[in-house]
Amino acid sequence: MNSEKIIETTKLTKAFGSFKAVNEITFDVKKGEIFGFLGANGAGKSTAMKMLTGLLSPTSGEATVAGFDVFTQQEKIKKNIGYMSQKFSLYDDLSLLENIKFFGGIYGLSKEQLNERGTAMIERLGLSDVSHKLLKEVPLGWKQKIAFSVATLHQPKIVFLDEPTGGVDPITRRQFWEMIYEAADNGTTVFVTTHYMDEAEYCNRISMMVDGRIAGYGSPKELKADFKSDNMDEVFVKIARGENYKIQ
Amino acid sequence: MAVIKVNNLSKNYGEVEALKGIAFEVEQNEIFGLIGPDGAGKSTLIRILNSLILADKGEVSVMGKDPNKQYQYIRNNIGYMPGRFSLYEDLSVKENLEFFATIFGTTIKKSYNLIKDIYQQIEPFNDRKAGALSGGMKQKLALCAALIHYPKVLFLDEPTTGVDPVSRKEFWQIIKGLHQHNITIVVSTPYMDEADLCDRVALMNEGEILRIDTPKNVANSFDKPLYALEAKEGNYKLIKTLRAYPFLESVFPFGEKLHYTDQRDLDVTQALIEHLEAEGFNDINISKIASNTEDVFIRLMNNQKQ
Amino acid sequence: MFDRLKGIIKKEFYHIFRDQRTLLILFGIPIVQIVLFGFAISNEIKNVKIAILDQSKDEHSTQIIDKVLSTSYFDLDSYLNSFEEIDDAFQKGRIKAALVFPPKFSETLQKESKADVQIISDATDPNTGTQIGNYLQMQVQQYLMEHEVTATSTLPPMLINTEVEMRYNPELKSVYMFVPGLITIILMLVCTMMTSIAITREKETGTMEVLLASPMHASIILLGKVIPYLLLSFVNASLIIALGKFIFEVPVMGSYALLIGEIILYCLVVLALGIFVSTIAETQQLALMISLFALFLPTMLLSGFIFPIENMPLPLQIVSKIVPATYFNIIIKSIMLKGATLSFILKETLILAGIFFFLMGVSIKRFKIRLE
């Protein structure tokens, strides 16, 4: 990890009428970092992420992603990022190979690149035997690994993961995190949004959103120390409900 | 007396074996947790117990009745909260509750004593449409609906999935509070850390029960010394190096640290430090730690696969 | 038991009244259809050229001719002297219709209390052709009614048989058929589609799972779903009949009680069909597809609403025999346009009742009290 900033925002805001879904958030993500973007449902996470991925124009503030401006260079941003979510990532009724070709094609990979990287990816995952199987016949744990590989096939500078590991078994989950570690080690920045707090502990640094603002920002270790908590769950509870909040 | 008895229970969906001959008992007034990932068979099991699905094989008894034949009795005496939010989103909080009260032939008033603690938290939003409630509020409303007829047994299928940590904590407080009303509770969850909140748990994976015990006994059943490791160079390099270490038994990322077991039974802290220093790691931090449910689960899963 | 049913019905009404799309389908479609349909038709008839072949030239025939020509609908092209001239006038395009009185028209009418009038209409444009025929027919009927009022009441009611002949397209049906036909279609749409969607929606959102896990009997769940739509369908049917009557003067010749009874019967049949669809379909989308393509289209095309059944190829005629709308079409047309009593439509009524019990039986049997 180096100190080059790959995402940088200053007072980034998105308002829907008088409601500020994202309210002046300022943070940065460094190259090769695994950055956790946390918050409860409705805290503004997905709105913020849509702005960073070029799907939504901000109302005010500044932000650059991979060196491109989120106001004016949205198309360039899209070319330099990958995206994977648990809800939607791949087509169930296409085979593994067809999915790779389709998504690689979207990101403008040439035929040669597709063949080369696709084959390499399938071999690395040990899936040569099942590459012609429809995706719906593949177990959930595998799907997530495949989805992640597909999202990084075009070698994006940043990959956005939207709640990637909910519901999978503890072993598959750890295998998945090892893949993320590996990608980060190769210089890809990983931006994870989640409301699973234990997932947060795998990140290098995290930000925690509450009501459209960033209420906590730092490494899990720092945050746990700051909030005198044993785990991120407690940190979240203290941040979300004020430090003195106790459950009756 | 056991309220739920299950023996040799199997259920297939086509080729998929959702439940592979499981057996367990749930005691009166117990909070019994089904802990496991998606696809473990938790929902199938709950639906068999509450008579919504028929088992292929095995004996099932709920409150002494057979869900296959005496489903009317069972349906009259259980509360069920499915994994998905299953109330009417276009009806208000109050309308939803009134509706469920009517179909169970009761009223909110009659059940008020039981649901009061929960209902009071959502009562300020009585006229709000259920669809406009936050995740935590929805869960509370669904729980009220499931309790409206004073059930003897309550089935909660992943009530805390997708809910933020604050609401999760509150929800478990509520579940604990139901104890005093003499309700037996079967609750499923994919969160390993929630095991500690149950009286007894069954760890489930791929249609099998890996272990049934109290959460404490489960966590303590780890049969190897467990070490937590970290180093300045980061987890990824540490994992790669440890995988090449001849004495390694297992290593997993566990939040910020790695959890490690060694083939040797003696204390290997010093040996590890020396090895890692020789490999060029700095700021190495190794400590022997107590295992938790998730460590045990991973270990049992590995045994299951072998 | 009754409370539970009431609870479900109340809840169902909340759903209906809170979903604007449902309301739009329920009430928007019938109103729009009838108004569009109605005005598209009623605007066409004006100053239509007709020819008259009056072989009696007596009191009643002359008065009828005066009445017909006094309206703005028809203009006289010419009086004719023979049937051959009618063909000639049609072929030269001079006229759109011809009115023919047989010899001794008044005499026959006085003596036998009935007589024949022949109306010949150019049906190359079928809709206009039928309409002209109907308008002429109406003029003759009206004359008779006015005349009856002034006649001494000791005589039995007089009857003029108007025989409308559709030249060049003889099987064409009356446009007035569209109001009864519309009731058939709309009820089908509302009852079948809406109930099947209402039930599958609960399957999709998971609320059905909670209902099933409750001690409520399946028949209560179904009944609770059906009753609101039965009521709404009835409102709908009344609305269409009222619109037809007051805006477009489509008559209801028969008994209202019978009409209401038959409408309720048909509603029950199509509601049962909706429940049946919901036992097959697991999703709203599939329920919609089945309702539209497997039920709505055949009803529209094969029930005799648009195309006469007699002209269909045999396989389609057979299919039309199992479409409930076919029978209801006959029933409602008979009641509304011909003033038929129950004895005339007993066969069709019994068939509908049979279909209802069959569908309901199958549906209750198929409706699952469990999840699989």
Which ranges in C214-250 belong to alpha helices (H)? 218-248
- The region of weakest confidence among A149-163, C95-109, C130-144 is C130-144
- Chain C contact present for B95, CB below 8 A: yes
The closest CB to that of B82, out of C210, C215, C372, belongs to C210
What does each C-alpha distance from B47 to B38, B44, B188 come to in angstroms? 15, 5, 12
Cα–Cα nearest to B116, from B130, B97, B96, B91: B97
- Chain C contact present for B66, CB below 8 A: no
Please give the sequence-ordered ranges of beta strands (E in DSSP) within C18-110, or none if there are none.
Answer: 48-54, 74-79, 97-101
A46 and A124 in contact (C-beta within 8 Å)? no
- Chain C contact present for B102, CB below 8 A: yes
| Residues of A contacting chain B (CB within 8 angstroms) | 1, 40-42, 139-140, 166-172, 174, 177-178, 181-182, 184-185, 195, 197-198, 201-202, 220-221, 231, 233, 236-237, 240-241, 247-248
The reported pLDDT for the residue numbered C149 is 43
Other CB atoms within a 10 A radius of the CB of residue C183 amount to 27
Same domain, B239 and B111: no
Domain total of chain B = 2
Same domain, B107 and B252: no
Q: Is B255 helix (H, G, I), strand (E, B) or coil?
A: coil
Report the distance separating Cα B44 and Cα B51, nearest Å. Answer: 11
**Closest chain A residue to B203 measured between Cα atoms?**
A169
Report the distance separating Cα A16 and Cα A149, nearest Å. Answer: 35
Residue B295 lies in a domain: no
Non-local CB neighbours of A237 within 8 Å, separated by 6+ positions: A245, A247, B165, B166, B169
Q: Which amino acid is present at B162?
A: G
The reported pLDDT for the residue numbered C125 is 65
What number is the average pLDDT over the span C196-222?
Answer: 89
Mean pLDDT over each residue of chain A, to the nearest integer: 87
Residue count of chain B: 306
The reported pLDDT for the residue numbered C127 is 64
Other CB atoms within a 10 A radius of the CB of residue B37 amount to 23
Query: Contact B89/C205, CB-based, under 8 Å?
Result: yes
Query: Contact C210/B87, CB-based, under 8 Å?
Result: yes
Report the distance separating Cα A178 and Cα A176, nearest Å. Answer: 5
The reported pLDDT for the residue numbered C126 is 64
Interface test with C, best of B85, B88, B144 (most C CBs within 10 A): B88
Same domain, B135 and B274: no
Expressed in percent and rounded to 5, the helix, strand and coil fractions of chain C are 70, 10, 20
Residue A219 has pLDDT above 90, yes or no: yes
Name the band, by pLDDT with cuts 50, 70 and 90, for residue C151: very low
A154 and A115 in contact (C-beta within 8 Å)? no
Distance from CA of A65 to the nearest CA of B (A): 25
**Closest chain C residue to B49 measured between Cα atoms?**
C213
Name the band, by pLDDT with cuts 50, 70 and 90, for residue C172: very low
Q: With b meaning 16 or more CB within 10 Å and e meaning fewer, what string describes B236-271?
A: bbbbebbeebeeeebbbbbbbbbbbbbeeeeebbee
Percent of chain C's residues with pLDDT above 90: 17
A209 and A43 in contact (C-beta within 8 Å)? yes
Task: Read off the tokens for C263.
Answer: 């409408």
Same domain, B156 and B234: no
Name the band, by pLDDT with cuts 50, 70 and 90, for residue C162: low
Report the distance separating Cα B110 and Cα C221, nearest Å. Answer: 23
What number is the average pLDDT over the span B131-139?
Answer: 89
Report the distance separating Cα C226 and Cα C98, nearest Å. Answer: 50
Q: DSSP labels for C114-166? A: EEEEEEEEE-SSHHHHHHHHHHHHHHHHHHHHHHHHHS-TTSPPPEEEEEEEE
Taking the mean position of all CA atoms in its chain, how far away is CA B306?
Answer: 24
Please give the sequence-ordered ranges of beta strands (E in DSSP) within B158-225, or none if there are none.
Answer: 184-189, 200-205, 208-213
What number is the average pLDDT over the span C274-285?
Answer: 91
Domain C44-172 belongs to what topology? abc type-2 transporter like fold (3.40.1710)
Q: Is B206 helix (H, G, I), strand (E, B) or coil?
A: coil
Task: Read off the tokens for A74.
Answer: 């949205």
Query: Contact B51/C213, CB-based, under 8 Å?
Result: yes
**Closest chain B residue to C16 measured between Cα atoms?**
B90
Task: Read off the tokens for A97.
Answer: 């190979």
Chain C: partners with 3+ C-beta pairs within 8 Å: B
The reported pLDDT for the residue numbered C285 is 92
Same domain, B51 and B125: yes
Residue B249 lies in a domain: yes
Read off the pLDDT of residues C176-199 as tens digits, 9 standing for 90 and up: 667 788 888 888 877 888 889 999
The answer for C97, left when phi > 0, alpha when psi is -120 to 50, beta otherwise, is beta
Name the band, by pLDDT with cuts 50, 70 and 90, for residue B62: very high
Task: Read off the tokens for A190.
Answer: 């990983």
Task: Read off the tokens for C327.
Answer: 């029978």
Read off the pLDDT of residues B228-248 as tens digits, 9 standing for 90 and up: 999 999 899 999 999 999 999
Taking the mean position of all CA atoms in its chain, how far away is CA A94?
Answer: 24
A191 and A7 in contact (C-beta within 8 Å)? yes
What number is the average pLDDT over the span B176-200?
Answer: 93
Distance from CA of B190 to the nearest CA of A (A): 6
Distance from CA of C15 to the nearest CA of B (A): 7
A165 and A19 in contact (C-beta within 8 Å)? no
Other CB atoms within a 10 A radius of the CB of residue C6 amount to 13
A220 and A214 in contact (C-beta within 8 Å)? no
C102 and C56 in contact (C-beta within 8 Å)? yes
What number is the average pLDDT over the span C197-214?
Answer: 90
Non-local CB neighbours of B220 within 8 Å, separated by 6+ positions: B290, B291
Which chain B residues contact residue C213 at CB under 8 A? 50-52, 75, 78, 80
Sole residue written with tokens 């295992």: B291
**Closest chain B residue to A195 measured between Cα atoms?**
B164
Read off the pLDDT of residues B164-173 as tens digits, 9 standing for 90 and up: 888 888 899 9
Interface test with C, best of B50, B69, B86 (most C CBs within 10 A): B86
Interface test with A, best of B15, B118, B164 (most A CBs within 10 A): B164
Residue B197 lies in a domain: yes
**Closest chain A residue to B206 measured between Cα atoms?**
A169
Report the distance separating Cα C241 and Cα C259, nearest Å. Answer: 10
Cα–Cα nearest to C157, from C173, C166, C144: C144
The reported pLDDT for the residue numbered C38 is 64
* Helix orientation angle between A170-185 and B293-305, rounded to the nearest 10 degrees: 100
Can you give the residue range of the structural domain that contains B273?
226-290
Say which CATH number the domain at B244 has: 3.30.70
Report the distance separating Cα C304 and Cα C10, nearest Å. Answer: 37
Residue B300 has pLDDT above 80, yes or no: yes
Same domain, B68 and B195: yes
Is residue B303 within a helix (H) or strand (E), and if so which, with residue range? Answer: helix B293-305
Report the distance separating Cα B103 and Cα C212, nearest Å. Answer: 11
Query: Contact B161/A166, CB-based, under 8 Å?
Result: yes
φ, ψ at A35 (rounded to 5°): -110, 125
Q: With b meaning 16 or more CB within 10 Å and e meaning fewer, what string describes A202-214?
A: bbbbbbbbbebbb
Name the band, by pLDDT with cuts 50, 70 and 90, for residue A225: very high
The reported pLDDT for the residue numbered B212 is 96
The reported pLDDT for the residue numbered C161 is 57
Read off the pLDDT of residues A28-57 as tens digits, 9 standing for 90 and up: 999 999 999 998 877 888 899 999 998 899
User: What CATH superfamily is the domain A1-80+158-248?
Assistant: P-loop containing nucleotide triphosphate hydrolases (3.40.50.300)
The reported pLDDT for the residue numbered C154 is 42
Pairing outcome for strands A34-39 and A189-194 = parallel
Residue C358 has pLDDT above 70, yes or no: yes
Mean pLDDT over each residue of chain B, to the nearest integer: 93
Give strand pairing partners of B19: B11
Distance from CA of B234 to the nearest CA of A (A): 9
Distance from CA of C275 to the nearest CA of B (A): 20
Task: Read off the tokens for A229.
Answer: 């908590």
- Tell me if there are at least 3 CB pairs under 8 Å linking chains C and B: yes
Distance from CA of A111 to the nearest CA of B (A): 32
Distance from CA of B169 to the nearest CA of A (A): 8
- Residue C310 DSSP class: G
B:C CB pairs within 8 Å:
75
Query: Contact B99/C11, CB-based, under 8 Å?
Result: yes
Query: Contact C372/B53, CB-based, under 8 Å?
Result: yes
Name the band, by pLDDT with cuts 50, 70 and 90, for residue C173: very low
Other CB atoms within a 10 A radius of the CB of residue C54 amount to 19
Report the distance separating Cα C14 and Cα A6, nearest Å. Answer: 51
Read off the pLDDT of residues C291-350 as tens digits, 9 standing for 90 and up: 888 888 888 888 877 776 777 788 888 888 888 999 998 898 888 877 888 888 999 999
Cα–Cα nearest to A227, from A218, A219, A238, A217: A238
Please give the sequence-ordered ranges of beta strands (E in DSSP) within B36-183, or none if there are none.
Answer: 57-62, 78-81, 153-157
Residue count of chain C: 372
Non-local CB neighbours of A103 within 8 Å, separated by 6+ positions: A90, A150, A151, A153
Which of C34-38, C311-315, C349-353 is predicted most confidently? C349-353
Q: Which of residues 31-90 of B touch A (CB under 8 A)?
A: 36-40
- Tell me if there are at least 3 CB pairs under 8 Å linking chains C and A: no
Say which CATH number the domain at B57 has: 3.40.50.300
Residue C168 has pLDDT above 60, yes or no: no
The reported pLDDT for the residue numbered B210 is 95
Cα–Cα nearest to A204, from A6, A70, A56: A6
Taking the mean position of all CA atoms in its chain, how far away is CA C210?
Answer: 41
What does each C-alpha distance from B84 to B157, B188, C208 come to in angstroms? 8, 13, 12
Q: DSSP labels for C268-332? A: HHHHHHHHHHHHH-SSHHHHHHIIIIIIIHHHHHHSSSSS-GGGS-HHHHHHHHH-HHHHHHHHH
Q: With b meaning 16 or more CB within 10 Å and e meaning fewer, what string describes C123-149?
A: beebebbbbbbbbbbbbbeebbeebee
Residue B293 has pLDDT above 90, yes or no: yes
The reported pLDDT for the residue numbered C153 is 40
Same domain, B112 and B202: yes
Angle at C342 (CA atoms; ends C341, C343), nearest 5 degrees:
95
- Chain B contact present for C219, CB below 8 A: no
- Chain B contact present for C370, CB below 8 A: yes
Q: Which of residues 91-150 of B touch A (CB under 8 A)?
A: 134-135
Task: Read off the tokens for B127.
Answer: 């006229």
Cα–Cα nearest to C183, from C225, C128, C235, C246: C235
Q: Which of residues 182-241 of B touch A (CB under 8 A)?
A: 190-193, 205, 234-237, 239
Residue count of chain A: 248
Give strand pairing partners of B153: B78, B184
Query: Contact C213/B76, CB-based, under 8 Å?
Result: no
Task: Read off the tokens for B50.
Answer: 């509450």
